[in-house]
Amino acid sequence: MFNLVRHNLKSSLRRYSTAINRRHFEDEGDWFYSTEWWDSDSSNSRNVFREVSHNGNGVVSVLAHPCQTRLLPEQVKLSKPTSIKILLGDRLHWARTEKWLEQRYAEMCPGFKHHGRFRVSGYEWRTLHFNDHTRQSTVKVLAAYREDEPGSLCFMQQAHCLAVPYVKSMISAGLATISSCNSDLIKNAIRGKQNMNILCIGHGGGSIPLFLASKIRGAVVHVVEIDPIVISASIQAMGFPAFSVMTPSGKRACPKPDPIEEVLWKGTHERLLLFNSDAEKFILENANIYDIIFIDAYDGEDIFPHKLWDPYSPFVQALANRLHPDHGTVVVNLHSDVDAPNPHTLLFANGKAYLSSFGRPEEGSDWNMVLNTLMSEALEVEKLVDMPFSCLQYIKRGFTPVD
């Protein structure tokens, strides 16, 4: 029996691997680019935000790193002319971006065309750090300004660019599971015909909520972050929309979005709601029902709060009441500081929990069927959402059932 299961699993992986090769991904967040931002001691990096947290995160800082290339390894030739081509390619990309900004400005501000010429200053990686050593989040930002007002520099996080692999793993696992439970929901939500209610606990630089809101037109994303300094860092230095910030009373902190935000986000920012709150308090006092919940909440010591994954805590007990009864899914990022074997991503779906890891999945006929279903749905999600990376690549790494 186990030999048959092993054979079926290997056959499935070969089949899905062939499917991956048929589609070309242009992923600006490919790990190949991590050399541009991983070394925080680089002389090319500079500090663009630094404040002391009073919520256990120590010194919260954001470092800026030059973003020099847009080509993947197979496209790069180690020669001087190629380096020139790379720079010219960047300049051509900037020109297209400037044109896009001008067209968007003309749409949003039709009476002010003479103010609508934009110039791109460049792109940068921005890394969020706690205590000067814990790298919490990485994003790519665009810096641009209006030509008639050079001081109008604005930053736009590149929502399609997910720089850290575990973030791609969380999104892949969550969307593939939702698709397997309710394919109509994800299809309708992508087209904007139905809302998909999403909760993100732990904000960081905001890459998960921004990616989902940008890719899924019907996504309404609530974000809960306990530290107001982290919220400030993401908005001031990491290009997250300021209009997303909510007051304790549940109203927008800014009644109207800045015109530049309207140009940059064109409605995406209106589906992002960022709350400064303790996660347990928010869940216990909130009556919303969510289709999917992402939990990624580490403090300045890189420790995941026990109450956020302990099955007997008030938070986890109340979490069940906040999930859609038919397809509600929770995806949790867990590191090795928890009592679980080499965890990477914890996935709750249909009353069961699974650990995603880089190891080999548990074998068994039931589990083989679950994994095959997730892999199949991952391919569908890739096409529907127009993913810049392969969801299947992260599902194939396997999940281990948790009792």
Check residue 294 and give its pLDDT.
Answer: 94
Q: Are the C-beta atoms of residues 239 and 139 closer than 8 Å to each other?
A: yes
Q: Are the C-beta atoms of residues 185 and 159 closer than 8 Å to each other?
A: no
Please give the residue that has the higher pLDDT: either 280 or 394: 280
Residue 40 has pLDDT above 80, yes or no: no
The Cα–Cα gap between 176 and 225 comes to 26
320-337 pLDDT, tens digit per residue, is 889 998 888 988 887 654
* pTM reported for the whole predicted model: 0.83
What is the average pLDDT score of the chain? 80
Q: Are the C-beta atoms of residues 144 and 101 closer than 8 Å to each other?
A: yes
Beta-sheet pairing, 118-130 with 59-66: antiparallel
Residue 238 has pLDDT above 60, yes or no: yes
Check residue 324 and give its pLDDT.
Answer: 92
Check residue 56 and give its pLDDT.
Answer: 85
Tokens standing for 176?
A: 């593939």
Boundaries of every domain in the chain: 31-157, 165-402
Mean pLDDT of 37-61: 87
Please give the residue that has the higher pLDDT: either 276 or 395: 276
Please give the residue that has the higher pLDDT: either 264 or 72: 264
Confidence of residue 155 (pLDDT cuts 50, 70, 90): very high
Mean pLDDT of 60-80: 63
Check residue 15 and give its pLDDT.
Answer: 47
Confidence of residue 60 (pLDDT cuts 50, 70, 90): very high
Residue 198 has pLDDT above 90, yes or no: yes
Mean pLDDT of 24-49: 83
Check residue 210 and give its pLDDT.
Answer: 98
Confidence of residue 150 (pLDDT cuts 50, 70, 90): confident
Q: Which CATH architecture has domain 165-402?
A: 3-Layer(aba) Sandwich (3.40)
The Cα–Cα gap between 293 and 298 comes to 16
Q: Are the C-beta atoms of residues 204 and 128 closer than 8 Å to each other?
A: yes
Mean pLDDT of 186-205: 96
